[in-house]
Structure 1
Amino acid sequence: MSRLETLFVPEEGVESSADTIIQEALDAVRAHFGMPIAYLSEIVGAESVFRSVSAPGLEDLIKPGDRRPLDAVYCQHILDGRLPELIPDTGAVPFAQTLPITREVPIGAHVSVPIRRADGSLYGMFCCLSPEPRPSLNPRDLSIMEMFASLSARHLNARLSAEATRRALAKTIGETLENGLFHMVFQPIFDLDGGRPTGFEALCRFDGLPYRSPDQWFRDAARIGQQSALEAATIRAALPILEQLPADVSLSVNASPSAVADGAIGAALKDAPAERIVLEITEHDRLENSDSVIRGLDRLRARGVKLAIDDVGAGYSGLQQILRLRPDILKLDLSLTADIDTDPARRALTVGLVQFARETGAILLAEGIERAEEAAVLRTLGVDRGQGYFLGRPARAEEALAGLAGKSPPRGSRLGPAFTIGAEISGG
């Protein structure tokens, strides 16, 4: 693949790659024409603003961020038809000779084509110039210029689109944080042997429209650097339920490794009864800056917070990450729990994890239990705790507390048979 061809291949991370691609296009067109200056400008009001510049050694003459009045440069005159896009010799163009910039720079040859946004509106100009005339310039050269301009426009528009998306996300996430446009629900966790609730997992539900899953909200927040702030806000919103839970019932909250590393989770849990908090780290999250993550986890665990690894058996790093973090609780992924009563392979893998948990002193918790048969087999295999729709659906705090107290949940409650099945799953 030639260098020119590679310029037309989109790269990942458009926001960071677009500037590089445009710079390379300017370098290439400047070298092709043998001219010392090439640039991409944006028309902002009555000014031409130089956004990208290729002019080695001429930074005192032109550099990114410089501005000039539109009527003082060639751009607007080309757009209005007073100057042609291709000028091999400005001395042969009377109007060019009337412009002071022709003598100040000086400009002997000039090639310029417009750059447009995706909606067709004008963004600016893609230009190349020389202090000496270039009599050999011809319509074929203009076509090459248009090709490079098209390349630059493609990547520029990808960047503009990404920037617009980021601005929209920043606005949405900012409003969500400022106005608390989310609520917490709580799903019970049961001791499979005794049939009693041992804890609740706090889960976030967002109120903004159109509906997006919680995972998408947190991914969007991560894109604009607000994931830690959003996670910390949801944790703070969950903590008040602890005041109404029995002292032996824990609260599980979810956090990304990055939010642990930067201290956001520690700050959110500053005034919480740490010994009653279980911090769930998703097992398939890659531990970027792992030393910082582990230091953050160590500080939390020193205060009494217990660590759970979520989605065990379906994630990124498997047992290697588990061995490094030494969690207090291992949560079996629902892909292992589903149909475990009819699948020998799932049972065999679960037996191995039961033994691993016993050897390491961890508690094994199966999530995604949806049928009585699954709960019974998991209990028989030695799994300590369970969670899932069969045991209890996520519910708002008042409904979860009503179930814990043995009261009938309010009409319309989504609670399943969570608080009446203890005898069934414990074999009573």
Structure 2
Amino acid sequence: MHLLDYNPDDLDVTITELLVATSDSADHELPSVVSTVLQLLRNRMGMDVAFVSQFVDGRRTIQAVDSLSDFSPLEPGMSDPVEESWCQRVVEGRLPEKIDNAAPYIASGKAPDPGFPIGTHLSAPVRLAGGKVYGTLCCFSRGVKADGDIDRLRYSANLLAQKLSPQATESTF
């Protein structure tokens, strides 16, 4: 019997330790441990790609990404107009945070065609203290995975926001 309410090997605990316990102060730069967090999230959630985007000066820029070795459609530094991104549409509520099957959204024009296959797409806004949006924490798979855990992604996005909040005030849409 455990005295704790969780398994110490649980992914949420690991992510918390990486994002919260690795430093005593907030940092306006993306913490180096984010790559590890993305890899853990992607692997545990069974997704093909996990990434963090940032919204600055009307653009969405990929800040960190982890993907399968045979499928890497995104790279850090890639940028596009924020208005053309799925990320912005999720933040504005025009797309849901959890899309089990993206094909109907793409076919109807509700989501722009990314030029590569997306089956399941999960996206959680990274909201800084005061409500400003840093960007999003997202993951997706090429196939449909109806068991995508949006709550875990939201939890991780909130931890990342706490890590970034005190000094990351200069960037929003």
TM interval, shorter chain, is 0.7 to 0.9
Gaps spanning 5+ residues in structure 1: where? Answer: 164-428
User: What is the root-mean-square deviation of aligned Cα atoms in Å?
Assistant: 2.7
The aligned residue for residue 100 of structure 2 is: 88
In structure 2, distance between residues paired with 1:75 and 1:17: 20
State whether structure 2 residue 129 is matched by structure 1 residue 121.
no
Q: How does 1:186-225 map to 2 (within 5 A)?
A: none
State whether structure 2 residue 166 is matched by structure 1 residue 155.
no
Query: Pick from 133, 142, 145: which aligns with 1:131?
Result: 142
Gaps spanning 5+ residues in structure 2: where? Answer: 1-7
Q: Deviations over 1:289-345 (max 9, x none)?
A: xxxxxxxxxxxxxxxxxxxxxxxxxxxxxxxxxxxxxxxxxxxxxxxxxxxxxxxxx
CA change 1:135–1:13 in 2 (3 A) is closer
What letter corresponds to residue 126 of structure 2 in structure 1?
I
CA change 1:159–1:55 in 2 (3 A) is farther
Shift of 1:49: 0.6
State whether structure 2 residue 54 is matched by structure 1 residue 34.
no
In structure 1, distance between residues paired with 2:98 and 2:116: 18
CA change 1:119–1:100 in 2 (3 A) is closer
8 Å contact from structure 1 (residues 38, 127) kept in 2: yes
Q: Deviations over 1:157-192 (max 9, x none)?
A: 25637x9xxxxxxxxxxxxxxxxxxxxxxxxxxxxx
State whether structure 2 residue 88 is matched by structure 1 residue 76.
yes
The aligned residue for residue 55 of structure 2 is: 43
More helix by share: 1
Shift of 1:72: 2.7
Query: Pick from 36, 46, 62: which aligns with 1:24?
Result: 36
CA change 1:23–1:156 in 2 (3 A) is farther
Q: Deviations over 1:365-409 (max 9, x none)?
A: xxxxxxxxxxxxxxxxxxxxxxxxxxxxxxxxxxxxxxxxxxxxx
State whether structure 2 residue 153 is matched by structure 1 residue 145.
yes
CA change 1:113–1:60 in 2 (3 A) is closer
Taking structure 1 as the reference length, the TM-score comes to: 0.33
Shift of 1:58: 6.1
CA change 1:51–1:5 in 2 (3 A) is closer
Q: Secondary structure at the match of 2:33?
A: helix
CA change 1:118–1:60 in 2 (3 A) is same
Shift of 1:15: 4.3
What letter corresponds to residue 75 of structure 2 in structure 1?
K
Q: Secondary structure at the match of 2:32?
A: helix
Structure with more contact order per residue of length (Cα contacts < 8 Å, sep ≥ 6): 2
Shift of 1:16: 9.8
What letter corresponds to residue 70 of structure 1 in structure 2?
V
State whether structure 2 residue 118 is matched by structure 1 residue 110.
no
What letter corresponds to residue 118 of structure 2 in structure 1?
I
In structure 2, distance between residues paired with 1:120 and 1:100: 26
Q: How does 1:6-405 map to 2 (within 5 A)?
A: 6-7=17-18, 8-12=20-24, 15=27, 19-57=31-69, 61-91=73-103, 94-97=104-107, 98=109, 99-102=111-114, 104-137=115-148, 141-158=149-166, 160=168
8 Å contact from structure 2 (residues 100, 145) kept in 1: yes
In structure 1, distance between residues paired with 2:85 and 2:94: 12
The aligned residue for residue 3 of structure 2 is: none
Shift of 1:29: 1.4
Shift of 1:17: 9.0
Higher gyration radius (CA): 1
Shift of 1:30: 0.9
Q: Deviations over 1:179-222 (max 9, x none)?
A: xxxxxxxxxxxxxxxxxxxxxxxxxxxxxxxxxxxxxxxxxxxx
CA change 1:136–1:15 in 2 (3 A) is closer
Q: Secondary structure at the match of 1:19?
A: coil
Q: Secondary structure at the match of 2:130?
A: coil
CA change 1:67–1:58 in 2 (3 A) is farther
